Amino acid sequence: MIRKVSLCDTPADHRRGGTINLLLSPRSVGATSGFMGVGRLEPGEYVIEHYHPYSEEFVYVVEGELHVRAESQELTLRADDSLLIPVGVRHRFENRGDVPARVVFHNGPLAPRPDLGHVDVEEPLTEGPPPQVGGPVRETGGVR
């Protein structure tokens, strides 16, 4: 079955910095190979350093600029730039600019269990549970 998910129908996660919305995932649409979402970082915001032990991360900048530190490399991505972060590589995203940065990301393949898919290197910025990537498909009005 084909399913549509709108950004406005997904919960925003601020726990690791910025605003992250998971759009297409095992929980939301029954995805079996990975998950996709969008991130927004206001000027001065960042996403804490982390890595994915089982997944590559594909990042595409829609607007603004995103400073990326990945292991010992540092680079700046601008609108229409993309980046592949290999499995297990520690990385951190920052908006050092003066306008919001919007990015689309995809991680795949999935970890054997959702709790194994993401490892924080820095402390989360806010309390609360991590976003729900795995588990049963959610049946809501926003998902078709």
Q: What is the CATH number of the domain that holds 81?
A: 2.60.120.10
Question: What's the total number of domains in the chain?
Answer: 1
Task: Reply yes or no on whether the pLDDT at 139 is more than 80.
Answer: no
Task: Reply yes or no on whether the pLDDT at 68 is more than 80.
Answer: yes
Going by pLDDT thresholds of 50, 70 and 90, the confidence category of residue 141 is: very low
Task: Reply yes or no on whether the pLDDT at 136 is more than 50.
Answer: no
Task: Reply yes or no on whether the pLDDT at 82 is more than 50.
Answer: yes
Beta partners for 84?
Answer: 58
Residue 21 within any structural domain of the chain: yes
Residue 1 within any structural domain of the chain: no
Residue 29 within any structural domain of the chain: yes
Residue 27 within any structural domain of the chain: yes
Range of the domain at 82: 7-120
Residue tagged 């490399």 (tokens):
73
Residue 127 within any structural domain of the chain: no
Residue 20 within any structural domain of the chain: yes
